[in-house]
Chains A and B, each alone.
Chain A
Amino acid sequence: MSRKRKSYIALMRGVMYVCSGLTAALLLFLLGYVLYKGIPNISWEFLSTKPSHLTERIGILPDILNTVYIVLATLVIVLPLGVGAAIYLTEYAQNKRVVAAIEYAAETLSGIPSIIYGLVGMLLFSNNFGTCLLAGALTLVIMNLPTVMRTTQESLKTVPQSYREGAFGLGAGKWRVIRTVVLPGCVDGVVTGCILSVGRILGESAALLFTAGFAHAINDLFSGLVSPGATLTVALYVYAKEEGEFGAAFAIAAILMFLTLIINLSASLVGKYFAKRRSV
């Protein structure tokens, strides 16, 4: 082997190892730094109270509740829409142009930056019925629609055509086939779509700042939906950027890291579980 070739190989191999090492080190640093700075600030009081000016303590219970409410509201609305769109695409659609238009639209939606969602959500929802969690949730519905649609569509494709034909052969109508054969087959796609959406909702801040606001009041589900409120991520931003409360910000960041980890793990576990069940 010529020297030139040898040094090319050595160089490329070296660069490859350095870059991979860099990526790994980056993650370890981020993880370590955030947990190191955040965990000492997490206490039961921090998790279970609301911020108080009297004691000058920060509590994130309202933000946790708001996050739960907004996740629930978004999923309740986005699931029927996304699953329905996927069913239309795989079961009904015959016109290729309509399919192409819908898929192009879904792609476009997933490429739009969240700050633009925030603006449009503000114009469409908040300007009409006020800055509140529901306005934020509706904005997030548009954002997550393509995700749910795509995961459902993927799982619908794995339902064998013969099942549908069998059901049609027994005299079932289209709707009956969808209800009894197709829908049970797309559970894994729906679950995966939900997990991915929850991850995206947890991480979202730009789209919520102008639609859901940033109040820290404790509400129940229904009064929460119609009043403004910060999710954990928005609270992190406000504490870090506007109020300089870095301890609280890092504590929230550590919690968000844990949640991200749980979401990633459950997504891969769900995928494995359904893959196993399908192969049996």
Chain B
Amino acid sequence: MTETKDKSADARRAFLRLLGGAVACAGAAAAGKVAVTQAEAATAPSTVTPPAIPGYDWTKHRWAFGVDATKCIGCLRCVEACKRENDVIGDAHHFRTWVERYVYLEGEETPRVDSHSDPVNIEASGSEHEYRFANRYKDAKVEKAFFVPKLCNHCTHPACVQVCPTGATYRTNDGVVVIDHTYCIGCQYCVQACPYGARFFNEEKQVTDKCTWCYHRITKGLQPACVEVCPVGARIFGDLYDKQSPVSLFIRNNRTRVLKPESGNAPNVYYVGLDKDVI
């Protein structure tokens, strides 16, 4: 009887030993995997083996964007062009790029800020698919007013990439932060992490979405759609590796600044003509 019990205890011990071994192996395998992934920095398959673009070498470019806020007239052609070019959901809640209006009224200490997605402006345009700035301050005394175009800053240290649990969003070698829509799980952690509000959830595809600087265009030698349609040259795009590119000249010939530098994200959209209240 005692012998049977011992046998049984032995069997259980053996089972537990086996289980412990299995757990240890799984742990070791996981640790090994972690070591590998850290070396690769990002882990979506598209990062390790990027999709080939014929005639394009992403090691030969470093893209950057410039915004001259003193030139922007708030016509919003950029916003509409972006929506069409990139098939962005046509409502007032999803934008890869947008324009803000800062208005300082006489006697007020802080500016009044709105964008074309403000309900008052949407009412003025009559549709969520068309955008304009309503003339809402026509009866007030305006001291100063300007527009600020906004878009993804394609940061050098992007918080959105840092928090992505799968590595579906990553920074390409040529300095563009993109999302692999076939790999994104749609947790929206990146939407939370972006300090600029540049990311949104694409309800059609059930993944997150944002500006790509029109990666499909720039890799073919074209300009991003918003830059292409801007009638006043407020948006500037180019290659930092080319010292004579529009953006290199823009950065060299102006005193530029970036948005929220304290975030540590090291953004790559360079601004001219911002006021202290621009957020």
Chain B associates with chain A: no
